[in-house]
Amino acid sequence: MTRYYEDLTVGDTYDTGGYTVSKEEIVEFAEQFDPQPFHVDEAAAEESMFGELVASGLHTLCLSVRLFVTDFVQGGEGVANMGGLGMDDLRWHEPVRPGDTLRVRAEVVEKTPSESRSDRGYVEFHRTVHVDGAEVMSITSHNIVRRAEAEE
Amino acid sequence: MTRYYEDLTVGDTYDTGGYTVSKEEIVEFAEQFDPQPFHVDEAAAEESMFGELVASGLHTLCLSVRLFVTDFVQGGEGVANMGGLGMDDLRWHEPVRPGDTLRVRAEVVEKTPSESRSDRGYVEFHRTVHVDGAEVMSITSHNIVRRAEAEE
C-alpha cells in the first residue's frame, strides 16, 4: 500500500506526531555540529540575543526531517521516496527550547514528472514545524518519488 | 581580534580544513535523523538509485555547518556571529560516501545593515562543500553578525 508519485495530490497535508527535545539532546547535538556558545553553554546563552539556551536551528531541521521520515515516509502506508534534490526557503521563526514538543505538517505544493526518467517524479513539500501551535520553522523540500507505473 | 560585521567584505572567501566521514558515523546519523534504507542498510542501498550506502544529505549539511563553525566562526580571528535567520538554495549535487573528506568554502555575497537594530547586520554567505575538488553540496546562509560599533 505504499504511496507512489501518482498517489500524492497537490494540496494534501500530512501531520506527524510530536517529538519532545531535552536540554541534554540540544547540547549534545550542538557540540557535534554547531558548537556556538548559545547552544552549548547556559551561562553564555543568557548573554546572547536569545537570553537562554536554545536549540541549534540545524537541530530543529534535523528533528523535523526525522518526524517527516518516521511518521510520513515510513509511517502508515509509506511513501516511495527515492531521495532528495535539495531544499529551499529554510527560515527559523522562533527558537526551540528544552522541553519543547515539535510537530511537522507537510503539504504537497507541486508535482513534476521527470522528463528524462519515466520511473520517477519530483514532489515539492512545504513543511512547517510547530511548537504549541506556533510555527517555529518552515522549509520547502524537493523529493524524488517513484512512480507506480513507469511510462515507456 | 574577532571579525565584526564591518570586517567582512563582499567577495571574501574562506576555506575550512577537511573532515573525513566514516561509514559508522553515516549510519549512526541516519538512524537518528533520516533512517531511510539507503542511508542505514548496505544491502538496501545497493538496490536504491544510489547503488551503495550514501550519507544523508542532511548529514552532509550538518558536517558542513560544523566545519563553518569550528574553522571559520570560531577559528582564527573568529566571527561575531549572533545567530541565523535561515538558509536558501540547498542542493545536493553528488552523494557523499564513507571515507570521503569534506571541505567547505564560504564566500561573503551580500551585507545588509539591520534597519531596526544598530548593533547588528545581516551577512549572506554562499557555502559550497567539496570532496576531492568536486562540489557535492551548495547552500546560501543568512547570518546575523554583531557590529563593532553600534550607530546611535
Q: Which residues are within 8 A (CB) of A4 and not within 5 positions of it... i.e. 6 or more apart?
A: A80, A145, A146, A147, A148
Contact check, Cβ <8 Å, B87/A90: yes
Q: By 3-state DSSP, what share of chain A in percent is helix, strand and coil, each rounded to 5?
A: 25, 40, 35
Q: Which of residues 53-112 of A touch B (CB under 8 A)?
A: 57-58, 61-63, 65-66, 69-70, 73-74, 81-92
Over the stretch A20-78, which tens digit does the pLDDT of each residue have? 999 999 999 999 999 999 999 999 999 999 999 999 999 999 999 999 999 999 998 89
* pLDDT value of position A76: 84
Nearest to B92 among A36, A62, A85 (CB): A85
User: Chain A residue closest to B47 (CA)?
Assistant: A82
CATH of B5-151 among 3.40.1390.30, 3.10.129.10, 3.20.10.10, 3.40.50.11540:
3.10.129.10
Q: What are the residue ranges spanned by the domains of chain B? A: 5-151
Nearest to B85 among A69, A85, A91 (CB): A91
Over the stretch B17-52, which tens digit does the pLDDT of each residue have? 999 999 999 999 999 999 999 999 999 999 999 999
Nearest-CA neighbor of A108 among A72, A83, A148? A72
Over the stretch A8-22, which tens digit does the pLDDT of each residue have? 999 999 999 999 999
Q: Is B38 on the interface with A (CB under 8 A)?
A: yes
